[in-house]
Amino acid sequence: ETGVTQSPTHLIKTRGQQVTLRCSSQSGHNTVSWYQQALGQGPQFIFQYYREEENGRGNFPPRFSGLQFPNYSSELNVNALELDDSALYLCASSDGNQPQHFGDGTRLSIL
Partner 1 sequence: GEDVEQSLFLSVREGDSSVINCTYTDSSSTYLYWYKQEPGAGLQLLTYIFSNMDMKQDQRLTVLLNKKDKHLSLRIADTQTGDSAIYFCAERVSSASKIIFGSGTRLSIRP
Q: Which residues lie near partner 1 (CB under 8 A)?
A: 4, 6, 31, 33, 35, 40-45, 48, 50, 55-56, 58, 90, 92, 97, 99-105
31 with 94: CB under 8 angstroms? yes
Residue closer to partner 1 (CB basis): 18 or 97 = 97
In terms of C-beta density within 10 A (0-12 exposed, 13-18 middle, 19 or more buried), how is residue 106 classed? buried
Least CB distance to partner 1 at residue 4 (A): 8
Residue 104 CA, distance from chain mean position: 11
What is each CA distance from 37 to 27, 34, 44, 76, 97, in whole angstroms? 24, 10, 6, 14, 23
Q: Which is nearer to partner 1, 52 or 104 (CB)?
A: 104
Q: Closer to partner 1 by CB, 19 or 92: give it.
A: 92
CB of 75 to partner 1, least distance (A): 18
Least distance in angstroms from the C-beta of 17 to partner 1:
24
